[in-house]
């Protein structure tokens, strides 16, 4: 499933075409994706203007001038592409070449953009694990998708003090604690492995062991928040990681996987200078964990 950097890459690709555009028509080529579409989904979108394209955790959001928010989740294989005809003035077309089979084009948005003219946005999803919904902006934070989500890993809210407060007393392995979406929203398996290596922390450590008895951050916890933000920022800049289905907004492969320190590098030497350790793979909570047996303690 695409992680936060991949979803943010898609948001940035869609933003120029969708933000400020009026939705002329919405065509649903089936009655459901992972879940049924909400009642009168196409009708409630038609005629509305997209005022902002956003992201919350791994969800794409399109604010509408009606006060509603179109919520879109890519699932395992969902993707968007932009098709602009001869009349369109939009520079650079958004492609996801992994699937252009018309049988998998489930949702088509025909837009009128004030700057670029007519633009078509197509949602394609071979596995149909993605979904779309409509949520009132006034109720957004309390909606079942978002009510229990933690902070984003890209802003100043993610701090050493925050992690210490949330880790205190936890006997959960550190990797599992970081994957808890109630703690940090959108942080997934790949980037947790990378961040833990950057911070020199074993994924098997108990989260509470990084906090003192008085609830203060221990010395080993200090770098973790900064490392997480840095890993996510570098991944977004690289267009995400092209594992299985993901491509970045212009159709090219995301290339952060070429910078992986530990993920999917089982048996290789640790890239940290003078470490001399070897990357090991273990399974935690049904997911592969990659880490250096020497420098991550």
Q: Do 169 and 49 fall within a single domain?
A: no
Select from 142, 177, 205 the last residue of a domain: 142
Mean pLDDT, range 230-247, rounded to an integer: 66
Is 149 within a domain?
A: no
Mean pLDDT, range 102-106, rounded to an integer: 91
Q: How many domains does the chain have?
A: 2
Strand partners, 36: 32
> Has residue 122 got a pLDDT over 90?
yes
Query: How far is Cα 13 from Cα 244, in angstroms, rounded to an integer?
Result: 19
Is 61 within a domain?
A: yes
Q: Do 88 and 177 fall within a single domain?
A: no
Q: Do 8 and 86 fall within a single domain?
A: yes
Is 151 within a domain?
A: no
Confidence bin at 27 (pLDDT 50/70/90): very high
Is 154 within a domain?
A: no
Is 55 within a domain?
A: yes
Confidence bin at 242 (pLDDT 50/70/90): very low
Per the confidence metrics, is the pTM higher than 0.85?
A: yes
> Has residue 238 got a pLDDT over 80?
no
Q: Which residue reads 């530990």 in tokens?
A: 262
pLDDT tens digits, one per residue of 155-206: 889 999 999 999 999 999 999 999 999 999 999 999 999 999 999 999 999 9
Q: Do 136 and 167 fall within a single domain?
A: no
pLDDT at 112: 96
Q: For position 173, which CATH number holds? A: 1.10.8.50
Mean pLDDT, range 225-231, rounded to an integer: 95
Q: For position 89, which CATH number holds? A: 3.20.190.10
Give the containing element (helix H, strand E) for 283. strand 279-284
Query: How far is Cα 121 from Cα 250, in angstroms, rounded to an integer?
Result: 14
Select from 90, 107, 142 the last residue of a domain: 142
pLDDT tens digits, one per residue of 133-165: 999 999 999 999 999 999 999 988 999 999 999
State which residues form the domain around 248.
Answer: 160-292
- The three-class DSSP label of residue 37 is coil
Query: How far is Cα 21 from Cα 118, in angstroms, rounded to an integer?
Result: 9
Q: Are 178 and 158 in contact (CB under 8 A)?
A: no
Query: How far is Cα 206 from Cα 204, in angstroms, rounded to an integer?
Result: 6
Report the mean per-residue pLDDT for the chain.
89
> Has residue 213 got a pLDDT over 50?
yes
- The three-class DSSP label of residue 88 is coil
pLDDT at 94: 55
Catalytic residues: 2-3, 58, 287
Q: Do 121 and 248 fall within a single domain?
A: no
Q: Do 128 and 165 fall within a single domain?
A: no
Select from 111, 142, 173 the last residue of a domain: 142
> Has residue 34 got a pLDDT over 80?
yes
pLDDT at 249: 42
Query: How far is Cα 55 from Cα 71, in angstroms, rounded to an integer?
Result: 9
């Amino acid at each position: 499933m695409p992680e936060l950097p991949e979803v943010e890459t898609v948001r940035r690709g869609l933003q120029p075409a969708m933000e400020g555009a009026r939705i002329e028509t919405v065509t649903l080529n089936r009655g459901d994706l992972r879940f049924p579409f909400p009642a009168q989904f196409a009708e409630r979108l038609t005629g509305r203007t997209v005022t902002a394209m956003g992201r919350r955790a791994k969800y794409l959001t399109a604010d509408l001038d009606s006060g509603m928010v179109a919520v879109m989740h890519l699932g395992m294989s969902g993707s968007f592409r932009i098709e602009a005809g001869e009349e369109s003035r939009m520079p650079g077309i958004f492609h996801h070449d992994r699937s252009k089979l018309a049988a998998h084009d489930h949702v088509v948005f025909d837009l009128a953009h004030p700057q670029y003219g007519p633009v078509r946005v197509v949602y394609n999803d071979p596995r149909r694990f993605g979904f779309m919904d409509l949520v009132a902006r006034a109720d957004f934070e309390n909606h079942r998708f978002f009510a229990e989500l933690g902070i984003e890993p890209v802003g100043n809210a993610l701090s050493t003090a925050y992690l210490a407060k949330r880790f205190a007393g936890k006997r959960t392995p550190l990797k599992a604690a970081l994957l808890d979406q109630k703690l940090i929203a959108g942080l997934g398996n790949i980037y947790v492995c990378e961040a833990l290596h950057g911070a020199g922390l074993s994924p098997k450590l108990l989260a509470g062991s990084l906090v003192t008895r008085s609830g203060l951050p221990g010395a080993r916890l200090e770098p973790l928040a900064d490392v997480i933000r840095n890993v996510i920022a570098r991944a977004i800049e690289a267009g995400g990681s092209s594992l299985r289905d993901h491509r970045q907004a212009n159709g090219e492969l995301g290339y952060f996987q070429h910078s992986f320190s530990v993920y999917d590098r089982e048996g290789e030497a640790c890239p940290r200078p003078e470490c001399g350790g070897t990357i090991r793979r273990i399974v935690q909570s049904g997911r592969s964990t990659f880490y250096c047996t020497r420098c991550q303690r």
